[in-house]
Amino acid sequence: MSIDKVLAGIQLRLTEHPALNDIQHLRSLVAEIRPQRPHDIVRATDNVRALCFVLRQRPAWRSALRHYLLQVLTTRKLVHLFTDTGITQNVGFWTAARQRLFNKILPPLVNEDYIKDVFGQLFHEETDHIWVNGIEDQAWVDLITAIGFRSRTARLTHGTLTSEILSAVQVLSYRITNIGLEAELVRNHPDIEKFESPFLRQNDAINDYVLSYSQWLIDQDKLREDSKHIEVLLTQCEDITNRIRRTASFQGVSISLTRLLLQLTQSIARLRKLLDMLDSRDTSNTAQLGVQLLKELVKADNERHSLRNLIQTSTELLSLQVTERAGRSGEHYVTNNRSEWLSMLRSALGAGFIVGFMALIKILFGSMAMAPFGYALLYSLNYSSGFMLVHVLHFTIATKQPAMTAALIARAIDEGKQKLDELVELIVRVLRSQFIAIIGNVGLAIPTAYAIAWAWVEITGKHLVSPEKAGHLLHDIDPFNSLALPHAAIAGVCLFLSGLISGYYDNKASYAYIPDRLRQLRWLKAILGEDRLLRVTTYIGNNLGALAGNFFFGVMLGTIGQLGSFFGLPIDIRHITFASANFAFALVGLDNHMSWQVAAYSLFGIMTIGMVNLGVSFSLAMLVALRSRRVSFGQGGLLTVLLWTRFWQGPRDFFLPPAAREEAATEQDDVKDEVK
């Protein structure tokens, strides 16, 4: 079917049924404009221009189409399209997720009495927003002009459509007022209760505006007020919203608060658009505003059943806070001078020492005869307690760094305070810190495991691992003839998830006032005493995220391999520090009878496992950190060139701290900058 046939069909049906308001013809017209490929914007634009040309050439078709469109619009409720489409509904996250999932299986009932449902039928393809938004605004304005909405018939229906818009304005205003009085917003901004709330005042102003505008529609000789005074109140509402977001940076945030802030922001933005359309006295400008609203509505309608969009919007502020807290933790993983570099080395050596014993315990547990659940339980207990002990003793696991430092780099990119050369220096410091942490972990894990293995021989008279077991341990770190690298990637995902968990529980500790609530427990105060209770709860408040992240990281490492055994899947984990300890156990199990080629190949395998651990963890953490800030970094190529140039100019700086003279010069430069 062509555009000509659709328009001819509309004219024919109108002669038979003057009150025609069936949307089938309108669906056909949209289908003719829709390109075969959603990204073919040129074709879509040509289709719109072709429709404009036909309407100009055939006045009868233009009149029929205009009459038909007005019939469709004026015989249905328009309010819900403006107040619901593209605005987060007042339901919880999990309820909304269940609804969207169920709607994918069984679509909701369509009520053609509402333009909102009709709109979804017209632009039913999930990719319609691509071509609709791709077509230039002027092309859509030209189509509105070609249809002839400035005619006398269109002006007669103007009051009906305007009344619907006024009703939508009132609904949005009431919604903004309701959100402004929510207990969760008041909790995060108590001043709302102390002073006259702009959320209440804007509603009074909107009601007066709607009343005045309705009277003007009846008698246009009366003076019509604009909405400039309402804009001031809406700006004050936005200021409170921004203050709550800033407060959340140190007090924490929840999904429900994120949803309320998102709904408030969307409602204010939509209210502004409708007020601009009502205030506009220029028909061309009104058409332009209408086109922009159309594009927004089509995109929102296409995404109304999207689980991905729900997760992205509903958890935006929460994910930002999680990654932001991870970024602050990342600051502790970046060394700036020699003393910090040496401190990182000592911290990593301590972790390597503990991992040597953790690897011993895992081998002992593995020699027991148990069901997969038993292995998972004991392995998880070993990993979790060991990693938590590492944190309590202020030691450093090298592979925990990327999830934290990636968020730090993302924050630097987002803030825009650092030029590319300064960002290069930050990355150099991160890589230098990462390098020494790995050296510390591996450098003491191997000798510790080696000493433990020989001590076991001296005490028990037999090897900790048999030659067969030693061969199995060496095979597990073979980068090419085993699944070592895919398993290392799984461990990298676990490291990334543990970073998110740490940020989540840090946020939870602040938002839920966990330390303060613990101090209220009388039985706990009776056991610990007031002074000790204060120290313990303060420690929990500062370290809950790290402890939770280490605990769940241990659980993930302990259970994934057993889940693979239970389901018959080839999944497991490989971690660089444990791989190093296992190499030492295998060396002793073979009585040191290992060729240098095998030893070198095994060390190469350990190195590649570490690179995969770090690479996967860092990439995922960077991706989430940038997306949570809605930041894209388009200078990756130039940054890579600058890093490569920096490496050739001073490769030493990527591995070793600056010399004492360089440190002194840097400190002097910093002092000069502060003075300036």
The model's pLDDT over 231-264, given as tens digits with 9 standing for 90+, comes to: 999 999 999 988 888 777 667 777 778 788 888 9
Give me the pLDDT at residue 167, please.
93
Asked whether the predicted pLDDT for residue 451 surpasses 90, the reply is: yes
Give me the pLDDT at residue 205, please.
93
Place of tokens 């901004």: 189
Asked whether the predicted pLDDT for residue 361 surpasses 90, the reply is: yes
When pLDDT is averaged across residues 145-151 and rounded to a whole number, the result is 75
Cα atoms found within 13 Å of the Cα of residue 446, Cβ hemisphere only: 13
Q: How many CB atoms lie within 10 A of CB 346?
A: 12
Give me the pLDDT at residue 673, please.
47
CB 231 within 8 A of CB 211: no
CATH 1.20.1080.10 domain residues, the chain: 326-626
**147's tokens:** 């249809």
**93's tokens:** 């996250």
Helix axes 115-122, 24-33, angle to 10 degrees: 40
Greater model confidence, 353 or 156 = 353
Greater model confidence, 582 or 324 = 582
Give me the pLDDT at residue 328, please.
53
CA 104/CA 458 separation, integer angstroms? 65
CA 503/CA 323 separation, integer angstroms? 6
Q: What is the dihedral of CA 108, 113, 114, 117, to 10 degrees?
A: 40
Determine if residue 568 is left, alpha or beta; phi over 0 gives left, psi from -120 to 50 gives alpha, anything else beta: left
When pLDDT is averaged across residues 515-524 and rounded to a whole number, the result is 91
Residue 433: strand, helix, or coil? helix
Give me the pLDDT at residue 426, please.
78
pLDDT in tens, 166-209: 999 999 999 999 998 888 888 877 777 667 789 999 999 999 99
Asked whether the predicted pLDDT for residue 470 surpasses 90, the reply is: yes
When pLDDT is averaged across residues 117-137 and rounded to a whole number, the result is 91
Give me the pLDDT at residue 572, please.
93
**Any idea how long the chain is?**
676
Lowest mean pLDDT among 240-244, 358-362, 369-373, 647-651: 647-651
Identify the CATH homologous superfamily for domain 326-626: Glycerol uptake facilitator protein. (1.20.1080.10)
